[in-house]
Amino acid sequence: MDVLVYLVPLALGLGGLGLAAFLWSLKTGQYDDLDGAAWRAIMDDDTIPDSARAAPGQDATGSTVLTNPTEPGRKL
C-alpha cells in the first residue's frame, strides 16, 4: 500500500501532462485540416523532379527519362 503514495501522484502527473499536450495541439491548430494531409498522401503527382531527369543530351528522343528507373525485382 505504500507504493500507492508514489503511483497515484505519478499517474495524475502523467495524465495532466497528456492533457496539457492535447490542449497545446488544439491551440496551435494541429487538427484544423484533417482531410488535406490524407489527400496529399494519395494524390497522383505526374510531375518528375528536375533531380530525377536525364542530363541534356543523354536521351536522344527528347522525352522525359528518369536517370535511374526502377523495375520490380531488379537488384542494384
Give residue 11's pLDDT.
98
What is the reported pLDDT for 33? Answer: 83
Residue 5 in domain: yes
Span 42-66, average pLDDT: 62
**What cell numbers appear for 43 in the block?**
494524390
Cα distances (Å, whole numbers) of residue 4 to 10, 16, 18: 9, 18, 21
Asked if 69 and 58 count as a contact pair (C-beta separation under 8 A), the reply is no
Tell whether 9 is covered by a domain. yes
Residue 11 structural domain: 1-25
**Inside any domain, residue 56:** no
Q: Return the pLDDT at 35.
A: 83
As given in the structure block, the three cell numbers for residue 67 are 536517370
Q: Classify residue 17: in a domain, yes or no.
A: yes
Name the average pLDDT for the chain: 77
75 inside domain = no
Q: Per the domain annotation, does 15 fall within a domain?
A: yes
Q: Quick: pLDDT tens for 17-49.
A: 999 999 999 999 988 887 887 787 787 766 666
Whether pLDDT at 3 is above 80? yes
Note whether residue 64 is domain-resident.
no
Tally the domains of the chain. Answer: 1
Place of cell 542494384: 76
